Amino acid sequence: MASQKKLSPADAKALTKSTVLNGTKYSYILSEPTNGRPKATIVLCHGWPDCSFGWRYQIPFLTALGLRVVAPDMMGYGGTDAPKVPPHDIHLYTFKQAADDVAALAHHLGASKIILGGHDWGGMVVYRIAQWYPQLVTHIFSVCTPYASPSDTFYSTETLVNGPVPKFGYQLQLAGPDVESAIQTEDDIEQFLHGIYAGKAPPGKFFLSPEKGADLSLIGKIGKSRLLDDNEMKYIVEKYSRTGMHGPLNWYRTREANFNDEKNLPNRKMDHPVLFILASQDTVLTRDLSNGMEKLVPNMIRREVTAGHWALWQASDEVNQHVKQWLETTVFGGKSTL
């Protein structure tokens, strides 16, 4: 799975900081190179159901390349606040709010320019951060998540599922009440995460279907995921247990709010240099979703790893090498700093 050093839960705890950004308390991992001034600051944005620790294979690797690495727990996750909706507004969970908060984090850290890396929802976030804050962001890499241009027409998740993208059916379940009400205890959370992280279901059963979502009747019957060890799972479960599933699931309830925000975006194309890493065995973010992406992202490099959705862990060596090559050529191009 991987040969290089990764962060342990103890490492992550030691590197974790917190600050208030636009009224929200954020938790983030901050890893600084030990030998001199950083070449640049890179901010890594995770997706669902993940946290800053999802970048455990990438953080030490990028730090060793001379980068200052920042990995926040995104809104609703881990040590970051998870405002309840209602009474709070769902806009706290939008891409625009994430962009505002990451920009505020960069300012807090004294970074006038940042590189961005994203995975899953974090992949969508990094594209939007660059569009809302084009002067702040210099380069982007996204693992699994292709670029999607803001739309002129609102399409609900139901419309997409019943039309061109039936494999987004799981999003209807996650946006609804079932998972949030069923997954309450630490044991529930651990079982649910094992299922999402490819833990083995009973014979003849599948925990997660892209079209239908999670089979919650299998909670208590899922085997351990082989993608992380017991100590790592314990750490992630502790982070999720702090505020529960409400915050993370709110990311699936923002489609209309995101659409309304993005009507104000001045540019529908992605002009920044982008490294897109396709995971060839991802059953949701499949190859067809990135077909023609070069038309919208003209300054793009496409790479591929043989892995499922959790490519950051399953193919960490390959992902890291692709990112390293891109940093050395496209990002720095022989320069010592940005």
Q: Are 197 and 310 in contact (CB under 8 A)?
A: yes
The Cα 160–Cα 220 span in angstroms is: 32
Write out pLDDT tens, residues 249-258.
Answer: 999 999 999 9
The full set of domain ranges for the chain reads 9-154+230-331
Q: In one letter, which amino acid is 301?
A: I
Q: Which CATH superfamily is domain 9-154+230-331 in?
A: Alpha/Beta hydrolase fold, catalytic domain (3.40.50.1820)
The Cα 75–Cα 223 span in angstroms is: 29
Task: Return the pLDDT at 211.
Answer: 97
Which residues on neighbouring strands pair with residue 116, listed in sequence order? Answer: 43, 140
The Cα 80–Cα 1 span in angstroms is: 29
Task: Return the pLDDT at 268.
Answer: 85
Considering only CA atoms, which of 50, 57, 169, 176 is closest in space to residue 120?
A: 50
Pick out the chain residues at pLDDT < 50. Answer: 1
Task: Return the pLDDT at 69.
Answer: 99
Its pTM surpasses 0.95: yes
Task: Return the pLDDT at 2.
Answer: 54
Q: At what angle do helices 121-132 and 95-108 cross, to 10 degrees?
A: 70
Catalytic residues: 120, 309
From the centroid of its chain, how far is CA 174?
Answer: 16
Write out pLDDT tens, residues 52-72.
Answer: 999 999 999 999 999 999 999
Task: Return the pLDDT at 267.
Answer: 82
Task: Return the pLDDT at 39.
Answer: 96
Q: Are 309 and 280 in contact (CB under 8 A)?
A: no
